[in-house]
Amino acid sequence: MNKRTGFAIVISLSFLSFSGFAYSAPRKTHSVVLGAVKHVPYSQAGDPAGAAAGENTLNIRALLVDGLLREWTTGDAHDVTDRSLVVRRVIRLNDLLPTDKPGSGEKPPAAGRWVWQRGPWLLVDRVSGHIVALKLPDYDPGVSQVSWFRDYAAYCGVTATGKSMYAVVAQVAVRKPALARKLAAFDAENHPEPVCAPPDWQRDPLRITFHPAGKDAVSYNFVPGSAMLVEDTGDEEETPDPPTAK
């Protein structure tokens, strides 16, 4: 073996060793944390669809991914799987009208008039760091108080026409509700507070009970299917090799 051949072999072995190390390197993990509770002003004036009568503060927490603020949330989080959780988002909304003018000592209109509103539920993946807003059927932020079990959300929903209230059980990642039964007519201008208390889950037999205001509780036996949530592996897709010319 000449020197040139030996040198080529050494370079090849070094390249293979480096390639093997790079291929086996652990993938990056993400840090997903809910911060400490913070109290912010909150009322029906700022969120007429979400705030209860007499409610004047809202407890919120920052959702941090790798130390960076991604969203503001409220209420308790629910672990769907060992790596995915759901939590409700809160939105800071600019409530300034074009005709609003600042009074003496107030900030200029360009600074905005900010209010907090309860928003949709978020699905958070602890491994990939991905955050997705859930589209729950007939979900109404001012009416729907969600009760979670596994990857199922049970709540009282309001139809798009705003005239009917339904008992709804929705499954994460499935568009069609697993359960949708009419509970009562709904009057958006004149309804009790709360319209519907959070539903109750029972495991054996699996049953969900709804509590519409002013009416008897309604229960439904429920036969769950397999979880439909497909969690991202977090791995980057491989780029296929270009075809070899013949």
Contact (Cβ atoms closer than 8 angstroms) between residue 193 and residue 212: no
* pLDDT 10s digits, 79-101: 999 999 999 999 999 998 888 87
Of the listed ranges 21-25, 44-48, 106-110, 187-191, the one predicted with least confidence: 21-25
Q: What is the pLDDT of residues 133-147, one digit of tens each?
A: 999 999 998 899 999
What's the pLDDT score for residue 222?
A: 85
148-180 per-position pLDDT tens digit: 999 999 999 999 999 999 999 999 989 899 999
Determine if the peptide bond prior to 194 is cis (ω within 30°): yes
pLDDT at 110: 55
pTM, full prediction? 0.77
167 or 244, greater pLDDT: 167
- Residue 1's pLDDT band (cuts 50, 70, 90): low
Q: Give 34's contacts (C-beta < 8 A, 6+ positions apart).
A: 61, 62, 63, 64, 73, 77, 87
Closest CA to 220 of 234, 232, 206: 206
Q: Provide the token pair at 24.
A: 């086996």
